[in-house]
Structure 1
Amino acid sequence: MQYVFGYAPVKLCDIATITRGGNFQKKNFVESGKPCIHYGQMYTHFGIYADKTLTYVNDEVFKKSKIAQPGDIIMAVTSENIEDVCSCTAWLGDEDVAISGHTAIIHHNQNPKYLSYFFHSSMFFNQKRRLAHGTKVIEVTPSKLENIEIMLPAIEEQERIVSILDRFDTLCNDIASGLPAEIESRQKQYEYYRDKLLTFKEI
């Protein structure tokens, strides 16, 4: 067993139960109702965590669906490529949410954002690559996810790590105050001088 920074890896099955998602489809979406997450949205909308859904289903569909509780990890387990398979988000909304098929619902007793950050890491990527199968459709079955190894510090340390990673995430992705704003500013500055020079106007 390999130790990293004093932490021993634990298997996901030791800290979580993993179930498959349900079978509602896009045709079941309604304008308002119970919140739901479709696996296809994992690739285009959801990131490390979410507290609101894009779509809803009615009460009847909701009752027949597989449900994720606040704090659960929702993971898309099929994709067209190895990079996107196992895209996931930590559900931090204040109510249960219906989950579509082609997903795994990971119910656990750890910091949800810590686990979600882990599932976006290279350590996880290297493991899922070994577990994935298929050619046109890449899949990692929920049963295989049980053997994923995670470096798991105490909850307090998980919270500290999450706090640091949240700040990095804001720095890199917040259009108002992070690096993208700086890049946009530099792009505008470049365009200003480019236009001045190309039109031979005084700078």
Structure 2
Amino acid sequence: MSDLGKIIRGNGLPKSDFAETGIPAIHYGQIYTYYNTVAYSTKSFVSAETAEKLQKVNYGDVIITNTSENLDDVGKSLLYLGEEQAVTGGHASIFKPSELILGKYFVYYTQTIHFYNEKKRYAKGIKVIDVSAKDMEKILIFVPELAKQTRIVKLLDEYDLANKTIIEELTKEIKLRKTEYEYYRDLLLDFHDQKVSA
């Protein structure tokens, strides 16, 4: 990874620093609980004073989680495409891709078994798993030419969109069936107008 861009380790940013408004902020825990692959805006904010102490995230940067309670979530990545500069804190690193790799391609690559096997080599800890920024730099990434990266990203974006659509439709159908079930259940079990025989 060190040949593909610059990695900067974050610092600070407990959830207690969050504010209602202010500078956009991305907490490492939100990367595997809230965001998907790309963020155009942030869920959280911090004051300008707090932001001064934190690492800056610019358009096109990728935020990588360094720490989690499980290995699956370590290395989960988020491409930031927000217009306003954001900040991130500890337990995360900022990857600034070079011209050799697309940020979105990198994010998708971090979801592969190849990346998993690489990060597993450098993971430390039992209850809390960590792969340091220095060890992240050693991870090997397969990088095809940019044209092929673009095609891969386009196909995966299309698949991701189709998958989301299916999930949304299934969620609506499940909700509809649940409502229908509850209606008939209540109808069939409504004995208020019936005489109870001994």
The normalised TM-score by structure 2 is: 0.83
State how far apart, in whole Å, the 1-side matches of 2:83 and 2:171 are: 35
Distance 1:130 1:170, change over 3 A: same
Aligned to 2:128: 137
Aligned to 1:19: 8
Which of 82, 91, 97 pairs up with 2:80? 91
State how far apart, in whole Å, the 2-side matches of 1:27 and 1:186 are: 37
Q: Say if 2:169 is the partner of 1:181.
A: yes
Aligned to 1:100: 89
Aligned to 1:37: 26
Whose Rg is larger? 2
Deviation (angstroms), 1:56: 0.7
Aligned to 2:51: 62
Contact preservation (8 Å) 1:46, 1:88: no
**CA distances 1:136-190 after superposition (whole Å, capped 9, x unpaired):** 110001111111111212222211111100010011123xxx3541575478569
Q: What amino acid is the match of 1:103?
A: A
State how far apart, in whole Å, the 1-side matches of 2:90 and 2:178 are: 47
The normalised TM-score by structure 1 is: 0.81
Residue pairs, 1:116-131, within 5 angstroms: 116-131=107-122
Where does the alignment leave 5 or more consecutive residues of structure 1 unmatched?
1-11
Contact preservation (8 Å) 1:114, 1:162: yes
State how far apart, in whole Å, the 2-side matches of 1:120 and 1:40 are: 17
Q: What amino acid is the match of 1:126?
A: N
Aligned to 1:150: 141
Q: Say if 2:65 is the partner of 1:76.
A: yes
Contact preservation (8 Å) 1:78, 1:139: yes
State how far apart, in whole Å, the 2-side matches of 1:126 and 1:49 are: 24
Aligned-residue Cα RMSD (Å) equals 2.3
Deviation (angstroms), 1:43: 2.0
Matched length = 185
Distance 1:98 1:185, change over 3 A: same
Q: What amino acid is the match of 2:60?
A: G
Aligned to 2:193: none
Distance 1:135 1:182, change over 3 A: closer
Instruction: State which drifts further: 24-33 or 72-81.
Output: 24-33
